[in-house]
Structure 1
Amino acid sequence: MGWFGEQARRWWPGRRAAAPPPPGGGADLDDDDLHARVADLLARELGAAESSGSRPLPVTPARIAAWMTENEFSYFVDNDGDLGGLWRGRLFYFFLFGEDSEILQVRGQWHRELAIERLEEVLDLCNEWNADRIWPKAYARVRDNGRVHVVSEVATDLEHGVTDDQLSQFLFCGLSTGSMLFDALDEQYPDPAGVAP
């Protein structure tokens, strides 16, 4: 089974698509006709997933966890009940804020820390990033131990709910743009970044 068939099985578990039987049992179909019938079947089945037609539903931690599972990402729930996971070796959390938990925030943390002496230059880097790009918001935090951590953040108000496709797009946006920021930091600060300049 090809890629489309595998995707269809993932999107509609337990559901088997059956092409209408060809006239004469299929013996009289040439390769072009058979290809056209398979393409029509895939368009019918996969078209439903692209224009999902599903009504927007509230975002819940369970929906985010299901998305993580479906995409074969590892995740965890910490002691505070927050959902997190690793993406390309970087730690990301998925928060729901607001009166009705309608604001989805994907927050990432660069996997390295900087010396406090680099705070001014990393703040300049974050400000430049924020001026040039929409996502993610970049900022630095100074921890109690005096080390500087860089954080990425993408937040979206989903007061009216979200479809599965939209949720997937928001989550991938938070993860991929956060990774772009962290890749830029890796380039700017090759190891060892934790020492003073």
Structure 2
Amino acid sequence: MGWFRQRARRWWSSARQEPDATVTSVDDVELHDRVAELLVRELGTAEQANTFPTAVSPARIASWMSENQFSYFIDNDGDLGGLWRGRLFYFFLFGEQAEILQVRGQWHRELAIERLEEVLDLCNEWNAERIWPKAYARVRDNGRVHVVAEVATDLEHGATDAQLSQILFCGLSTGSMLFDALDERYPDPAGAAP
């Protein structure tokens, strides 16, 4: 039985006991104080945040990249990108107020169109078993199959530096996990000795 379930049962058992005969009624303030005291006793106190969420911007993402010693670039369209473990990732902000952060990675290889069905099966299996990243395949104009990893988060109310860092690391690391699985499934023939 989980920790929370045990605590809830213990609390419910104590709450169902016969009330003290001397207590006839409890006003709202006293009831609030009792509930607050119970929550502190059972769950502990919450620590006050030392930073407040602020809007995410390309400058904040670039600053995070610099702080973590990652190389990055801004392409001709003004999009921020970088290489992570030899794979290309972009960092987009979408929405009316640029409130949706998307970390999008591209697998560094392409596959023949004849493998499209099996790549789609791999992506569907990945998406069914994992929350991140969303995996999908696209067919380029040249007929080659391109695999993409994507983590998108709505940050309408902003993010603290710690939250932003966690989201960016999540996008990069889970995207790399997908690409590692692709590398394992489709080893690079030029990477092996003849």
- Under a length normalisation based on structure 2, what TM-score does the superposition of the two structures give? 0.72
Residue of structure 1 in register with 2:160 after alignment = 163
Residue of structure 2 in register with 1:86 after alignment = 83
- Aligned residue for 2:97, secondary structure, equals coil
Return the alpha-carbon distance in structure 2 between the equivalents of residues 180 and 59 of structure 1. Answer: 25
Residue of structure 2 in register with 1:11 after alignment = none
Q: Percent identity?
A: 86
**Offset at 1:53?**
1.2
Equivalent runs, 1:92-103 vs 2, <5 Å: 92-103=89-100
Residue of structure 2 in register with 1:76 after alignment = 73
Q: Decide which of 49, 53, 60 is 2:50's aligned counterpart.
A: 53
Count residues with an aligned counterpart.
144
Can you give the 5+ residue segments of structure 2 that lack an aligned partner in the other structure? 1-46
Equivalent runs, 1:15-164 vs 2, <5 Å: 53-164=50-161
Cα shift readout 1:21-56 (whole Å, capped 9, x = no counterpart): xxxxxxxxxxxxxxxxxxxxxxxxxxxxx9761110
Kept after mapping to 2: 8 A contact 1:52/1:165: no
Return the alpha-carbon distance in structure 1 between the equivalents of residues 151 and 189 of structure 2. Answer: 28
* RMSD over aligned Cα atoms: 1.4
- Aligned residue for 2:163, secondary structure, equals helix
Can you give the 5+ residue segments of structure 1 that lack an aligned partner in the other structure? 1-49
Return the alpha-carbon distance in structure 1 between the equivalents of residues 169 and 49 of structure 2. Answer: 18
Compared CA separation, residues 88 and 52, structure 1 to 2 (3 A) = farther
Cα shift readout 1:49-94 (whole Å, capped 9, x = no counterpart): x976111000000000000000000000000000000000000000
Return the alpha-carbon distance in structure 2 between the equivalents of residues 143 and 75 of structure 1. Answer: 25
**Offset at 1:105?**
0.1
Runs (4 or more) in structure 1 with deviation over 4 Å come to none
Residue of structure 1 in register with 2:36 after alignment = none
Q: Whose Rg is larger?
A: 2
Kept after mapping to 2: 8 A contact 1:94/1:105: yes
Residue of structure 2 in register with 1:185 after alignment = 182
Return the alpha-carbon distance in structure 2 between the equivalents of residues 166 and 51 of structure 1. Answer: 15
